[in-house]
């Protein structure tokens, strides 16, 4: 069993409230779950209205597949029109 994780630090610059940030983050989480069949959770920065930290996990039997899926997740978040990817940590 191979467990792959990626921790994503995001900036939602246009967010003026926690409600706006949660709307954007919820949309990102739903898109990642549906597109890549991964688990996603907000880990840190819940009280900040412009920054968020998401954790993404995948369990598989193939290390290379886990790395490919997590790389696609990073690219999907990187190309998001509202949220800016600041940093990420990938581990398999």
Task: Give me the phi and psi of 6, to 5 degrees please.
Answer: -140, 135
**Closest-CA residue to 8 (of 92, 68, 84, 63):** 84
Per-residue model confidence as pLDDT tens digits over 43-73 = 887 777 788 899 999 999 989 999 999 999 9
Distance, CA of 14 to CA of 29 (rounded, Å)? 18
Model's pTM, two decimal places? 0.85
Listed by start position, the domains of the chain span 2-91
β-sheet bridge partners, residue 64? none
Domain 2-91 indexed as CATH 3.30.43.10: no
pLDDT in tens, 21-50: 888 888 999 999 999 999 999 988 777 778
């Amino acid at each position: 069993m191979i467990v792959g994780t990626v921790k994503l630090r995001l900036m939602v610059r246009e967010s003026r409230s926690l409600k706006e940030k949660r709307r954007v983050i919820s949309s990102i989480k739903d898109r990642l779950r549906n597109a890549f069949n991964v688990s996603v959770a907000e880990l840190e920065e819940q009280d900040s209205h412009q920054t968020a930290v998401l954790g993404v996990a995948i369990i598989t039997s193939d290390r290379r597949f886990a790395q490919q899926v997590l790389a696609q997740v990073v690219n999907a978040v990187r190309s998001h029109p509202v949220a800016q990817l600041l940093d990420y940590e990938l581990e398999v």
